[in-house]
Amino acid sequence: MSHYQKPPELYDGLRLHQNENTGGCSPRVLEALAKLRADEIGFYPPYTAATEACARYLGVTPERLALTNGLDEGIMAIAVAHLRPAAGGLIPEALVPEPAFEIYRFDTAVAGGRLVQVMPKPDFTFPLDDVLAAITPRTRVVFLTNPNNPTGVPTPLGAIRTIARRVPKEALVFVDEAYAEFAGETFIPDLPSFANVVVGRTFSKAWGLAGLRIGCLVGAPETLEPIQQAVPVYSVNIAAAVAIQAALADPDHLRHYLRQVAESKALLYATCDRLGLKYWKSAANFVLVNAGDRTAALVDGAAARGVYLRDRSTEPGCAGCVRISTGIVEHTQRCIAVMEEVLCAAA
Ligand SMILES: Cc1ncc(COP(=O)(O)O)c(C=O)c1O
């Protein structure tokens, strides 16, 4: 297995390569952090208030929610809980419709599971029949993302229900909703009918808290229990636990960002149409653009001008593709100016 290639630490320009909120968090978060007392930092963190705030936000009771140190930690815990080879020799299988968030692949390998990839259709619509055909008695986790990363294309809730009904009884269906705020759609209301489904959420994207590392898993308590065993007991720090409450108390900050994202996507689509670039309509805060044989010129030329984009051309089905965060309108406009400059120079 090749190791996860963490994107380089580029903080001296415009970061449009990791789907972060480039406008940052709510000012209320900074106020709450500034009020933290020395003794609060001296103690192991309490989680009741932060868990209740997240549960209220997601419309569930607190026992159906587990905080994690970023959703990344929740995904690793799922792999550790469900994808370790069993004593009898069975190698658990993780089913991943591609292209997908590459962490699923790496965490599956770390746990010792076997990766079963389902290759994408050219238009990136969800390959339900192929996913169903790839389910085996050894399937233990199905990793689904709605909307998907890196395509931004939605995964139909009906397809998730069908998969959840068809997997072996030991299997878990994980629905990664890292970008759900942008899509306005969630599987959470379905969870009471599907005890084998866990939804993952993050506060890194729409809520602008990536640097603090906080996310959560939502599901039936008995389904969460074995996963929580694989999460260190104090993995979420006090700053994140305080910040999440302050962030959720400022929904206007989120609403503002969602409006900016919608406007940014429209601007980028229009630019792609003008420049003759193919793209996929996105339900997230980024757009996948096919720059064909101009991909390297675009990514390198933009980086030289201080705008960082994510080359996704080696991901399955993504030859020639670049992923561009579409958040704050002013940042998108800067990106568009750079794209026009680079691509016209490369033409
Ligand atoms: C689909 C998906 N899931 C999970 C994550 C990880 O989120 P977090 O920052 O909460 O670890 C990301 C981040 O890029 C993502 O794109």
Q: What is residue 89's predicted lDDT score, i.e. its pLDDT?
A: 84
**Distance from C-alpha of 262 to C-alpha of 126, rounded to nearest angstrom:** 23
Count of domains observed in the chain: 2
Instruction: With a cut of 90, say whether residue 341 has pLDDT above it.
Output: yes
Instruction: Provide the sign of the torsion angle of the four alpha carbons 102, 108, 114, 116, taken in this order.
Output: negative
Q: Which of 211, 226, 248 is the last residue of a domain?
A: 248
The verdict on the CB of residue 19 being under 6 Å from ligand 1 is yes
**Distance from C-alpha of 334 to C-alpha of 347, rounded to nearest angstrom:** 20
If asked whether residues 103 and 163 sit together in one domain, one would say yes
DSSP-derived letter for residue 18 is S
Nearest-CA residue for atom 13 of ligand 1? 178
**pTM for the full predicted model:** 0.97
If asked whether residues 306 and 332 sit together in one domain, one would say yes
Nearest-CA residue for atom 3 of ligand 1? 178
The verdict on the CB of residue 271 being under 6 Å from ligand 1 is no
Q: What is residue 185's predicted lDDT score, i.e. its pLDDT?
A: 97
Q: Is 7 inside a domain boundary?
A: no
The verdict on the CB of residue 285 being under 6 Å from ligand 1 is no
Q: What is residue 303's predicted lDDT score, i.e. its pLDDT?
A: 96
Cβ neighbours around 220 below 10 Å, total: 16
Q: Which atom of ligand 1 is nearest to the CA of 101?
A: 1
Distance 203 CA to ligand 1 centre (A): 9
- How sure is the predictor about 2, in pLDDT bands with cuts at 50, 70 and 90? low
The verdict on the CB of residue 326 being under 6 Å from ligand 1 is no
Q: Could you give the dihedral angle defined by the CA atoms of residues 39, 45, 46 and 51, in that order, rounded to the nearest 10 degrees?
A: 140
- Structural domain harbouring 274: 14-23+252-346
Mean pLDDT is lowest, of 4-18, 161-175, 181-195, 231-245, for 4-18
Instruction: With a cut of 80, say whether residue 260 has pLDDT above it.
Output: yes
Q: How many residues make up the chain in this entry? A: 347
Instruction: With a cut of 60, say whether residue 1 has pLDDT above it.
Output: no
Q: Is 206 inside a domain boundary?
A: yes
The verdict on the CB of residue 151 being under 6 Å from ligand 1 is no
Instruction: With a cut of 70, say whether residue 347 has pLDDT above it.
Output: no
If one compares 6 and 189, the residue with the highest pLDDT of the two is 189
If asked whether residues 225 and 285 sit together in one domain, one would say no
Q: What is the CATH number of the domain that holds 287?
A: 3.90.1150.10
Distance 17 CA to ligand 1 centre (A): 13
13 closest CA partner among 211, 301, 286, 265: 301
Give the tokens for residue 285: 């805060």
